[in-house]
Amino acid sequence: PIEGVVFLQGDFREPEVLEQLEGALQGRPVDVVVSDMAPNLSGIASSDAARITHLVELAVDFARAHLRPEGALVVKLFHGGGYTELVQLFRDTFHTVKPVKPKASRDKSSETFLVGIGLKKGV
């Protein structure tokens, strides 16, 4: 264990897990939300895209509720169906939006990260 660190493991789609996380925050806003969540991929592009989109939307909703106005959200996603819509969701939500492909990511991988910085007011 690390002093001051609360470790939670669970499925973010389940209300109980979200409640545990919100309880650990004790009403304090956060500087950064990092989502490395990824669904179990089925190989069916449209189904996988919908699952990825849902997880990113959950992360954005969490950020809207708990992020400091100048904070940042980082999410993992994949190029493919729904990518353009998720970038637009970030543009609607954050002042600065940057797609980032880590150097450690394989060249052929469609994995990328989207960074949103500074929540727009009223979102």
Residues with catalytic roles? 76
Strands laid side by side in the 67-78 sheet: 30-35, 67-78, 111-119, 94-100
Chain-centre distance for alpha carbon 23:
19
- Bridge partner residues of 98 (DSSP): 115
Chain-centre distance for alpha carbon 77:
8
Task: Specify whether the CB–CB gap between 53 and 86 falls below 8 A.
Answer: yes
